[in-house]
Structures are given as C-alpha cells and as structure tokens.
Structure 1
Amino acid sequence: MDESRARFNDTLLDLSRLIDDEDLLRMKFKSSGEVNIGKKQGEKITNPLHLFTALEERGHLGPHNTDYLKTLLINCCSGKTDGLRVLESYEQRRDTFANPYGNGYLPAQGYTAVPELAPQPQTVPASGPQVVYVIQGGVDQQINNFQQNLNRITSKRKDLDPEITFLTKSLGRDWKFYMRALGVHDDDIEQVSCDHTSLREKIHQCLSLWLEQQQQSASKYKLIEACRHSSVQRNDLATKLESNQL
C-alpha cells in the first residue's frame, strides 16, 4: 500500500469515529439515489466504513476524489464540523505533498477551484519562484450557509411538531400509504422500515425525512391532503388536523 493510500485510509477511519447513527442514516438516504446504492447493499451498510467502501466502488470517493464525501459531511451531519475539519486537513496535507513548493498552495495553471468559491490569488515571497497560486478555501462559508439552512429547517420542524407527534401516534398500519402520498420515495420508506423495529419510530423517522427533503415547502396543508389521498382515506385524521384536535 502506498503512502498516499495509507493516509487516506487513516482519514476514513478517523471520520468513521465522528459519524453517529443518525448522521449515517442521513448520508445513506442522500447517497442512495445519487450514487445508485441498491436496497440490498444499503441494508448491509451499518457503519460509515461500509458506506465509504460503497462510494469508492462507484467511483465517488478516493484519495484524490473527496468532493462528494465533503458534500455529505456538510449536508448530513446536523451542522457538526469535526468530520469536515478532518477531511479538510487531509486535503490540505494531500495537496501539500502534490505541490513541490509546499505551503498547501496549488499552482493556478491547470487547477480547478472548488465550485462556487472564488479563488484568491497569492504570490510567494520574492526570494522564491515567482508563481501565482490560489488558496482552496471557503469551508467556513459553506458551513455558515448550511447552518442557516439547518436553522430554517429546525424552525419549520418546531412549527409542525404537534402535527408530526399526532400523526406518529395515529397513523398505524396505514403509514406506508401515507408516506407515499406525501412523496417519500419507496426506497427511503423501506430503508427506514429495515433500520427500525418500532412502528412509531418508523413513522417518526419518515416524517423527519420528509421535513428535511421539503424544508421550507413543508406545510400543515400537505399533511392534511395526504390524509385525504385516495390510497390513504384517513379523513378522520384530516379533520382533527384541520380543527387542531390533536
């Protein structure tokens, strides 16, 4: 095993210790559709290292291919930055080894900046080679944007908390039909069903996933309409939601 691969494996091991079960569940949900991880393999992913292996097998992760993993860490870890910092530190060390001039800078020629981040030009001291460099950065801004988005989702979740609690207790055996009526994907429903044994926990996790997917579009109206859907026909629940008899 070469040295660069060993450093990469050590980084993945460090990351795996910082990703909890809820983070992993969100990462599996997000990556299942984006990188085509099938249901059968998804069921076998019980720790972060299994997920990393699946991403590598599909060409979405490697020692020099960490952008997708960074996206997962930003979007799926509830604003926690420890894992992102570990990956960022690895990228800086990796780029330092790749750059003969050191200092963590990459030559501007042939270098593609991180999408949506404006590169900042910087020159080395006069005593060294007169080459223009760009600094790869902007993680703090990405985290800040994610945190703002997370705050909006949290606020929406609090607004709908009484309705979510009521549906968690009341849906019963109709819950899968209801989730489909809401627009939750079948693969996500089945993954939640496999990951949890309690019926109420399955319902709550699916509703939480729906809130994350809908974000600001989530509304009490959509919850009520799903109750009235032809495949659900729970007008009793819809009436109680409308009249706030929760």
Structure 2
Amino acid sequence: MSSSDLNPVLLKISDQLSSENLDNMKFLCRDMIGKKDLEKVTTGSKLFLLLMERGKLGPDNTECLSKLLTDIERKDLSDKLQGLEGESGDRRDQPDDTERAKLDIATEVIAENLGRSWRKLGRKLGLKEIKLESINRRHPTDLEETAVELLKEWRKSQGAGARVEQLIEALRLCQFNLTADKVEDKLKKIHRSDETEINSE
C-alpha cells in the first residue's frame, strides 16, 4: 500500500467522525501524543497527521488507528482500513501458483486443528501483538476464522517469500507436531493425486 492509497481513505474516515468520536480518540491517544498537541486537534485528519509523525500510522502500519476506531465503536470505519489493506495485495508480491495452492491447503488444515493456540503460532511467525489483537477483535468467537485470518496476515507480511515449509517449521517449534504432520500428509496426498492424473493422461 502507498500513501496515495491511504490518504484518501483517511480523509473519508475523518469526514465521518463525529465530534464525540474525535474527543474519544483524543482521550485514547493522550499517552501517545500528549495533552498540548491534542488540544490543537480539531479534525480527524489533524489527529492522523500527529499519529504519522510519531510512527503510529502509515501505509503499512494501520493497526493502531484500526484499534482506536474499534475502541470508539466505529468498526465500520476500521473495516474501511482493513479493506484497503486487503485490496493492496499485488500478485507480484505473492508466491507462484504452485506455492499458493500449497499454502491454501496448509491454511485449511491448520485452521481446522489449531484451536485456541493461534496466538502462539502467530508470535512464532513473527506477527506483532497489535496485529494479533486486531485479528482477535475481528473474530472473537470463531477460532477457525481467527486462524485463517492469522495465516492471511502472515502471508501478506511475507509477500512472494511465503513458503509452506515456514509454516510447518513454526508449527513444530510450537510443539504442534500433530498439526504439522497433518499438513505434510495432506500435501503428499495432493501431490500423489496430481501425479496419478498426469500418468493416466
């Protein structure tokens, strides 16, 4: 995502904030920004600018603002940011078709088996706590969807470098050996099935 993608969305979000919304956000930002600077803030865009200056907001760093919007019960605006992140993915920043297919299979197996331990895997994969908290807020009761979201965020962070072997290694480092075995077994079955189809042709 670039600034030219983010800034128009920030302006739209600013326009849709009520004065009460803005006051609540300023209250939540008091430790990040400071009372003196916050007193000068009269619009959402001015607040966003201060967050940018402090390294709390940027094209690839929207988690803090997303959390603020969710905390003031404006999940509709938080979703605008999340949607922008999703749209910003470029096929050039993704693995090739074969690797993507393997990652999709691994995601399905892991989501079915990970359960409440998704945070542990997320940390092992290098995702920040604020990102994990954002994922949790999106799917607070559906563990399978939470795991899918977790792996989607990891794949996004890795771009074209995402490999299924990294997932399997992280699972084993977390002692989730049974899930790692299931991923490997499913991949082997798919591979054997593909070979059978090729030979039959």
- What TM-score, normalized to structure 1? 0.44
Q: Write out aligned runs for 1:187-198 (5 A).
A: 187-197=130-140, 198=142
Specify the alignment match of 1:37 in structure 2. 64
Segments of 5+ residues of structure 2 without an aligned counterpart are 1-6, 17-56, 190-201
Which residue number in structure 2 is paired with residue 69 of structure 1?
none
Partner of 1:237: 179
1:112-127 aligned within 5 A: none
Q: Cα 1:186–1:244, aligned 2, differ >3 Å: closer, same or farther?
A: same
Report the CA distance shift for 1:16/1:205 in structure 2 as closer, same or farther (over 3 A): farther
**For residues 85 and 13 of structure 2, what CA distance do their matches in structure 1 show?**
17
Identical aligned residues as a percent: 22
Letter in 2 for 1:204: V
Identify which of structures 1 and 2 has the higher relative contact order when contacts are C-alpha pairs closer than 8 Å and 6+ apart.
2
2:192 paired with 1:163? no
Note the C-alpha offset of 1:51.
Answer: 7.6
Report the alpha carbon displacement of residue 239 of structure 1 after superposing the two structures with TM: 2.1
Change (3 A) 1:33 1:15: closer
The answer (yes or no) to whether the contact 1:16–1:48 under 8 Å persists in 2 is no
Q: Distance in 1 between matches of 2:120 and 2:59?
A: 21
1:85-124 CA deviation, whole Å, 9 max, x = no partner? xxxxxxxxxxxxxxxxxxxxxxxxxxxxxxxxxxxxxxxx
> TM-score when scaled to structure 2?
0.53
Could you say if the C-alpha distance between residues 12 and 160 of structure 1 is closer, same or farther in structure 2, counting changes exceeding 3 Å? same
C-alpha deviations, 1:129-160, integer Å up to 9, x for none? xxxxxxxxxxxxxxxxx74426x358443331
Q: In the alignment, is residue 78 of structure 1 matched against residue 87 of structure 2?
A: yes
Q: Aligned with 1:161: secondary structure?
A: helix
Q: How many residues align?
A: 138
C-alpha change, 1:35 and 1:160, in structure 2 (3 Å) is closer
| 2: CA distance, partners of 1:48 / 1:168 | 27
CA RMSD between the two structures: 4.2
Q: SS at the partner of 1:47?
A: helix
Work out the CA distance in 1 between the residues paired with 2:79 and 2:114.
Answer: 33
Alignment of 1:6-45 (within 5 A): 12-13=11-12, 31=58, 34=61, 37=64, 41-44=68-71, 45=74
- For residues 181-211 of structure 1, the C-alpha deviation after alignment (integer angstroms, 9 at most, x for no partner) is 1111111111110121311111111111111
